[in-house]
Amino acid sequence: MSKHVSLFLLLLLTALPASAAEIVSTLADQEEVAVTIYNDDLALVRDRRQVTLPNGESSLALREVSARMRPETALLRSLSHPQGLSIFEQNFDFDLLTPGKLLEKYVGREVQVVRTHPQTGVDQAEKAQVLAANDGIVLKVGDRIETGLPGRLVFPDVPPNLRDRPTLVVDLESGTAAKQQLELSYLTGGLGWQADYVAALSADEKTLDLSGWVTLTNQSGTTYRNSRLQLVAGDVNRVRDELRLQRGMVMEDAMVKAAAPMMAEESLFEYHLYTLQRPTTLKENQTKQVALLNAGGVPLRKEYRLSGGSHYYQGRFGDLGEKLKVAVFVEFDNRKTAKLGMPLPKGVVRVYKQDRSGQPQFIGEDRIDHTPENETVRLKLGDAFDVTANRKQTDFRKLGGDSRYNYRFETAFEILLKNAKDEAVTVNVVEPVPGDWKVLGESHKHRKGSANAAVWEVPVPAKGETRLTYRVEVNY
């Protein structure tokens, strides 16, 4: 495209088509906007504007609405004259004006091709018919066919279904000629949020400081100025569209930030509603963070865990691995007595700890689901470097049975836990034992973690090792 086409389009933007009765409303008419954002790319927008309507029928063009609006959910009502407004028809114009779109609309129609004489500088205009505008432009100029752009194109007008901003056009009838307060509400995509948490461990790893931040992303195609922002945490059931638009999410990591005004929380049906205590502006194509919570000195528990496999108990294996990884978990209670006690929206918790020089270092992250008050938050941070395990099967016998539904096995295991750290640790060995089972002998006392899990809490001294042995009978 020639730059002359773009310059000419800028002039046309100030004179977009409108019928004689069309009234244009922009963000300058907006008095208030409220945005409620749900999980999974869904938001409810309530846009209030002061608009002067004539008596009788007219068309109202509400500009700068969301480009991702679901038009079937749009509802316009008058707050000042609720009984005097009737809606006949709504049209959502989201085919936006660009040089390419303008050419597409003029396929089969006439335009003017203006050429400037290179020596005299005089413009010469010639009529041309647009034949195609797919991967380029094809023009019929007189009795010849030309491709490319031989000059600059001049269009007589802009087609009525092309607009520079997403616009909802409403055909309505007003019972009075007056300034009215109108509210447009609709559901839209392109607005998303998620919770991000930053946890800083204390030096002794007994407590943590937790900051919660809400990351907002606006890719809806418009700006929401000084909006009243609310967030709904929970899984709201939706009828899925056959075609879902894809959306990108720009994420931003953050270390523990200074305290900021928190978001108020309340129950809403079976969900939780969070309300920002001050207006905020969500700009188009912007990601921003607002504070959700700050809590300090939250009691913390740390766990080393070695997990086995149920198939170990169904056959002969011998060695089952050396230097096996021991997972590291931390957990804390979401209780008021633990300096928390509020519903936590699902999100990612990133955990940091200061090194000897006082610099925070990233030590792991995990994702949490929606967590109600009085529940436990459990995070897997990674695998221990200095705590490892060797596992082997020391005995296996088939005691009876002639099919897979009545087998009886007896098997024995040895797990050698090694600790290269300067302090003692306790490793929870969790073995998922299938079928009906009982422990016949063991070097350390076990507890039944669940119907199919035996748990041993094995202390391992600093710079030392501990050997766990046990024998189990399994019945299928």
Q: Are residues 64 and 139 in the same domain?
A: no
Q: Are residues 463 and 319 in the same domain?
A: yes
Report helix, strand or coil for 18: coil
pLDDT of residue 12: 42
Strands 144-147 and 138-141: antiparallel
pLDDT of residue 17: 43
pLDDT of residue 196: 93
Q: Are residues 295 and 327 in the same domain?
A: no
Could you please report the per-residue DSSP string of 252-264? ---------PPEE
Q: Are residues 127 and 253 in the same domain?
A: no
pLDDT of residue 39: 82
What is the distance between the alpha carbons of residues 138 and 156, in angstroms, rounded to a whole number?
18
Q: Are residues 48 and 128 in the same domain?
A: no
pLDDT of residue 241: 54
The answer as to whether 132 is a domain residue is yes
Q: Are 174 and 180 in contact (CB under 8 A)?
A: yes
The answer as to whether 347 is a domain residue is no
pLDDT of residue 146: 87
Which residue type sits at 342? M
Q: Are residues 223 and 273 in the same domain?
A: yes
List of residues 6+ apart from 59 with CB closer than 8 A: 18, 19, 21, 22, 23, 169, 170, 171, 172
pLDDT of residue 251: 31
pLDDT of residue 104: 83
pLDDT of residue 122: 86
Q: Are residues 54 and 181 in the same domain?
A: yes
Q: Are 182 and 174 in contact (CB under 8 A)?
A: no
Q: Are residues 234 and 316 in the same domain?
A: no
Could you please report the per-residue DSSP string of 377-405? EEEEEEEEEEEEEEEEEEEEEEEE-SSTT
Which residue type sits at 275? T
pLDDT of residue 203: 93
H-helix or E-strand spanning residue 44: strand 42-53
**Domains contained in the chain, number:** 4
Q: Are residues 135 and 166 in the same domain?
A: no
pTM metric for this prediction: 0.71
What is the distance between the alpha carbons of residues 153 and 160, in angstroms, rounded to a whole number?
19
pLDDT of residue 100: 81
Strand partners, 284: none
Domain termination residue (choose one: 299, 326, 361): 299
pLDDT of residue 240: 62
What is the distance between the alpha carbons of residues 27 and 45, in angstroms, rounded to a whole number?
14
Strands 30-38 and 224-233: parallel
Q: Are 100 and 130 in contact (CB under 8 A)?
A: no
For residues 116, 121, 125 and 131, what is the CA-based torsion angle, rounded to 10 degrees?
0
Q: Are 154 and 114 in contact (CB under 8 A)?
A: yes
Residue 323, Cβ density class (10 Å: 0-12 exposed, 13-18 middle, ≥19 buried):
exposed
Structure tokens at 24: 């244009």
Give the structural domain span for 210.
191-299
Q: Are residues 263 and 316 in the same domain?
A: no
Residue 61: which of 27, 32, 85 has the closest Cα?
27
pLDDT of residue 269: 76
Q: Are 344 and 334 in contact (CB under 8 A)?
A: yes
Q: Are residues 313 and 433 in the same domain?
A: yes
pLDDT by 10-residue block (mean), the chain, 476 residues: 43 42 89 92 95 94 93 94 91 78 85 85 87 86 84 83 83 92 96 94 95 93 94 78 39 37 71 87 92 93 94 88 95 95 92 94 95 94 96 92 80 96 96 93 95 95 97 91
The answer as to whether 290 is a domain residue is yes
The answer as to whether 246 is a domain residue is yes
Residue 69: which of 165, 182, 192, 168 has the closest Cα?
168
Q: Are residues 81 and 198 in the same domain?
A: no
What is the distance between the alpha carbons of residues 277 and 467, in angstroms, rounded to a whole number?
57
The answer as to whether 344 is a domain residue is no
